[in-house]
Structure 1
Amino acid sequence: MLLDVALPLSLAFIMFSLGYGLTFADFGRVLAVPKAALAGMVLQIVVVPLVAYLGLQLFDLPPALAFGVMILAFCPGGVTSNILTKLAGGTVALSITLTAVVSLLSVLTVPVLVGWAAKTFLGDGAETINVTAIAVSMFAITTVPVLLGLLIRFLAEDFASRSEALVSNIALVLFVVIVVAALATNWGLFVENIARLGPLLVALNAVLLVLGMVVARVIGLGGADGICISIEMGVQNAALGITVAGLVAQVGGIPEFAVPAAVYGITMYIVTIPGMFLLRKVFHEA
């Protein structure tokens, strides 16, 4: 099926665009600003799934959609988080570093966490999940494209700088296409569950944005770092969530597990864009 080929290829190009905008120096910032980088990584990898899990205890969702919410929560920050961080006055270098590092680590974290979530939310109805196969597939469609983009940037920096905007725009279009395709494929399921799914996703987004700023202040980070970490927590890689859902379901097309990621791919901007400016105002005046 065309969609089964187009979806991973589109995600691979989106991840390639992330690597295309990176330099090896970006990864060195993990050591240069260890507190901010470590805090951002822990919040993204540990706290985001924890908040999602707690949120699911308060909202009554069908098991498949609850599992889909957890898949979304396991994903790293979205590729547009760097742009939003810049617009909001956050630390762009930290945003780039967190997006890149957590995206690479997701090859290890996402398959293991998905296996746990399937048993927890689907129970006996869960299909046997091949964690190794998911890890290999994620490596092929996320890590390899990032490293390829990074390598091209290193070998042909002038060319990469000139074409970076074009590559980013193509990636943005592909992201929109993935989200629209996921919603269109599961439109009936979306309409049936949006009243229950929407409030949870909006609340999750808002809590993550606020939590990122609060934790940053508590551990002594500046407002710009707080904005960055807040956005990295609130903006998830919905395209990756949709793709992982397909890898788990092992069926043609886009499965119902992907619906939360598809919906969040839209609502996260509706919540995050006004939210980040409000947070900047509140915390800068505090």
Structure 2
Amino acid sequence: MDSALSTVGLPIALGIIMLGLGLSLTLDDFRRVGRHPRAVVVALACQLLLLPAVCFGLVLLFDLPPLLAIGMMLLAASPGGTSANLYSHLFRGDVALNVTLTAINSIIAIVSLPLITNLAIAYFDADSSVSLQF
């Protein structure tokens, strides 16, 4: 059973964190990110190509069972979120770049997440026990 803390408290806390991060940003922060699109392209390439490739290598290296391997690939294909933006803020990173990456990657994930996950399901021959529709 879900507790009130996880169903009510956690979404409220995440909303407050996002509001606080949003209030700390200005339009100039996003203009700066727009003037240097190479950082966005490199980071997206790392998130969409390098991260799943490294995850696939680790899955093969440790010879994980198929369901665990597919779960790892699903996690590697998932976009970053609120906690990544919070850590970027706490460690004095480029929060505007992180928020931009989260937004773009969340849109791209509509296609990339099912694609990577379905490739993993097919590779590990788990079609009978796991499925993910496009």
Short-chain TM bin: 0.7 to 0.9
Describe the superposition over 1:94-152 as per-residue Cα deviations: whole angstroms up to 9, x where unpaired.
Answer: 11211222122211211222211111123453445321xxxxxxxxxxxxxxxxxxxxx
How far apart, in 1, do the equivalents of 2:26 and 2:120 lie? 34
The reply to whether residue 117 of structure 1 matches residue 120 of structure 2 is yes
Secondary structure in structure 1 of the residue aligned to 2:79:
coil
Aligned residues: 122
Aligned with 2:43 (options 36, 40, 59): 40
Contact 1:86-1:92 at 8 Å conserved across structures? yes
- Counterpart of 2:67 in structure 1 is 64
CA displacement at 1:33 relative to structure 2: 1.7
Candidates 55, 66, 75, aligned match of 1:52 = 55
Q: Which has the higher contact order (CA 8 A, sep 6+)?
A: 1
| 3-state DSSP of counterpart to 2:125 | helix
Structure 1: runs of 5 or more not aligned: 132-286
1:225: which partner in 2? none
RMSD: 3.0
TM-score calculated relative to the size of structure 1: 0.37
Q: C-alpha separation between the residues in 1 aligned to 2:91 and 2:111?
A: 31
Structure 2 residue matching 1:122: 3-state secondary structure: coil
Q: Unpaired segments of 5 or more residues in structure 2?
A: none
Percentage identity across aligned positions?
Answer: 34
Which protein is richer in helix relative to its size? 1
Query: How does the TM-score come out when normalised to structure 2?
Result: 0.73
Q: Give the Cα separation in 2 of the matches to 1:105 and 1:29.
A: 22
In 2, the alpha carbon distance for the partners of 1:64 and 1:128 equals 11
Residue of structure 2 aligned with 1:80, choices 45, 68, 83? 83
